[in-house]
Amino acid sequence: EMQVVESGGGLVQPGGSLRLSCTASGFTFSSYWLHWVRQAPGKGLVWVARMNSDGSSISYVDSVKGRFTISRDNAKNTLFLQMNSLRVEDTAVYYCAREAYSTSHWYFDLWGRGTLVTVSS
């Protein structure tokens, strides 16, 4: 069964750091672009960051540039999100999502259950 499982969330004070992990199984991890998407409590989905299959290309939403770093270890089938200088507004469930491709279309076809990050003093 194909799946991605997030971990590493928790409670952290403003200004603190946290490292999220997304561990994949059941598919060839190194062939896929991967994304982090977050959802604040009671709010909608917001794309956060993306890394291509070999790690050579990265993108971030403006609100996290300079604070968050996405990375991956293809040998360990794991995607990471290093979050520094955390703010209260970063509080959210963070989802890992796989981007798939079919007939000139790209879409997020596999999602994890998410990990909750709470930034509070």
Partner 1 sequence: EITMTQSPATLSVSPGERATLSCRASQSVSTNLAWYQQRPGQAPRLLIYGASTRATGIPARFSGSGSGTEFTLTISSLQSEDFAVYYCQQYNNWPPWAFGQGTKVEIK
Binding site for partner 1 (CB under 8 A): 35, 37, 44-47, 50, 59-61, 95, 97, 102-109, 111-114
Concatenate the DSSP letters of all residues of 36-95 into one string.
EEEE-TT--EEEEEEE-TTS--EEE-GGGTTTEEEEEEGGGTEEEEEE-S--GGG-EEEE
Least separation in angstroms between residue 80's CB and partner 1 is 19
Least separation in angstroms between residue 55's CB and partner 1 is 16
C-beta closer to partner 1: residue 9 or 114: 114
